[in-house]
Amino acid sequence: MSDVNEVVIVGSGPAGYTAAIYAGRAQLKPVIYEGSVTAGGALMNTTEVENFPGFATGVMGPELMESMRKQVERFGAKIITDDIVLVKLTGEIKELTDGSGNTVKAKSVILAMGSAYKEIGLPNEKRLSGRGVSWCATCDGFFFRDQVIAVVGGGDSAMEEAIFLTKFASEVVLIHRRDKFRASKIMIERAEKNPKIEFLFNHEVIDVLGDDKVSGLKLKNTLTAQEVVKDFTGLFVAIGHLPRSELLVGQLELNTDGYVQVEGRSTKTQIPGVFACGDLVDFTYRQAITAAGTGCQAALDAERFLSGH
Ligand code: NAP
């Protein structure tokens, strides 16, 4: 049984890293798969995080994640920079296969794969992705200097993206399908105060125009159904996220939106020894701090499970 780990953690956002810190400190020698390209999770694509407790003057998302990673290393977790591509979660010994074809065994597994950007679902959105269509202002904003760009969405992400993009763009039009934002008051106020941001309410994007790069958007008024074409050279989609649970289909109970179901306030899934945390589970709060909190819970749940065996 020496090649069987006590706990393997999949995912490296605040949930995965926190689970690894707790499991490491509990001497469980955790193995954490941090992903081949996306180590650190969604916060790696964020700018300043102002509301993570303990950072009175704010902290940059990537810096916060780098710091969590160092803390993971300090408590002896084995960090593997690869993706898990296959899982076999049933039975006492779980098996996980990584992108390089290696299989790792574990008595318990903590799933913390987070979520991925949601797409509008238009054929031309996909075709022009990387050619004017983007999901990440901090990654791509630089390419839109002095241009007029659109941001779609009405939540905090849309506000954050729009505000960040005003560093580069000459004008940012925030397009929302309703007349009321879902974002927090403080973020709405910041966007409203920014002279480069225009708001276009009650409109949805029904097509992305352009041959080899974005030249405009076809919009539809959600109240009157009237269609209009507007010129833009960029489209930033900030309409939320979807849980990254593809790996788990057929093995674990997922809700209709693909989130992993857990038992009550715990992180226990319906398979003994398999725990889930962070944005993979949470469709309500979805904050870095709540993800970290459930990562801690998952490690404690796994520890109790292992001590009971
Ligand atoms: P969100 O809160 O779920 O908002 C998604 C927005 O996109 C909603 O306004 C929604 O419209 C719109 N939308 C969804 N599907 C759409 C579609 N197909 N076409 C057009 N619009 C669509 O997602 P989020 O903004 O990514 O935020 C997720 C969580 O992270 C939230 O809890 C948020 O507070 C947090 N967050 C916090 C910060 C911060 O504090 N700085 C920054 C980013 C994110 P409806 O309103 O009509 O549903």
pLDDT per position as a tens digit, 35-72: 998 788 888 877 788 899 999 999 999 999 999 999 99
* C-alpha 101 to ligand 1 mean position (Å): 36
Q: Is 190 in the pocket of ligand 1 (CB under 6 A)?
A: no
Q: Is pLDDT of 22 > 50?
A: yes
Q: Is 120 in the pocket of ligand 1 (CB under 6 A)?
A: yes
- Amino acid code (one letter) for 157: S
Q: Is pLDDT of 2 > 70?
A: no
Q: Is pLDDT of 17 > 60?
A: yes
The sheet carrying 227-231 orders its strands as: 203-209, 216-221, 227-231
Q: Is pLDDT of 161 > 50?
A: yes
175-200 pLDDT, tens digit per residue, is 999 999 999 999 999 999 999 999 99
75-126 pLDDT, tens digit per residue, is 999 999 999 999 999 999 999 999 999 999 999 999 999 998 899 999 999 9
Cα angle for residues 239, 42, 255 (degrees, 5° grid): 60
Beta-strand (E) ranges in the chain?
Answer: 4-10, 31-33, 48-49, 59-60, 78-80, 84-88, 94-98, 103-111, 115-117, 133-134, 148-152, 171-175, 197-200, 203-209, 216-221, 227-231, 234-237, 241-243, 274-276
Residues carrying an active site annotation: 136, 139-140
The ligand 1 atom nearest the CA atom of 180: 46
Q: Is pLDDT of 231 > 80?
A: yes
247's enclosing H/E stretch is none
β-pairing, 234-237 vs 133-134, is parallel
CA distance 15 to 12: 7
Average pLDDT, the chain: 95
CA distance 188 to 176: 13
245-286 pLDDT, tens digit per residue, is 999 999 999 999 899 999 999 999 999 999 999 999 998 898
Counting residues of the chain whose pLDDT is more than 90, the rounded percentage is 89
Ligand 1, atom 31, lies closest to the CA of 286
Q: Is 154 in the pocket of ligand 1 (CB under 6 A)?
A: yes
Residue 144 in contact with residue 272, Cβ under 8 Å?
A: no
The mean pLDDT value for 200-215 works out to 97
CA distance 147 to 43: 26
CB contact burial 124-149 (16+ within 10 A = b; e otherwise) = bbeebbeebbbbbbbebbeebeebbb
Tell me the C-alpha to C-alpha distance, in Å, between residue 167 and each of 153, 214, 264: 19, 20, 44
Tell me the C-alpha to C-alpha distance, in Å, between residue 96 and each of 10, 81, 146, 274: 9, 14, 47, 12
* C-alpha 233 to ligand 1 mean position (Å): 23
Helix axes of 14-25 and 61-74: crossing angle, nearest 10 degrees: 20
Residue 124 in contact with residue 113, Cβ under 8 Å?
A: no
The residues that bridge with 149 in the sheet, in sequence order, are 172, 234
Q: What is the DSSP letter of 141?
A: G
Q: What are the tokens at 120?
A: 């509008």
DSSP string for 2-30: TTEEEEEEE--SHHHHHHHHHHHHTT---
Q: What are the tokens at 229?
A: 């074409």
* C-alpha 284 to ligand 1 mean position (Å): 11
pLDDT of residue 193: 98
pLDDT of residue 1: 44
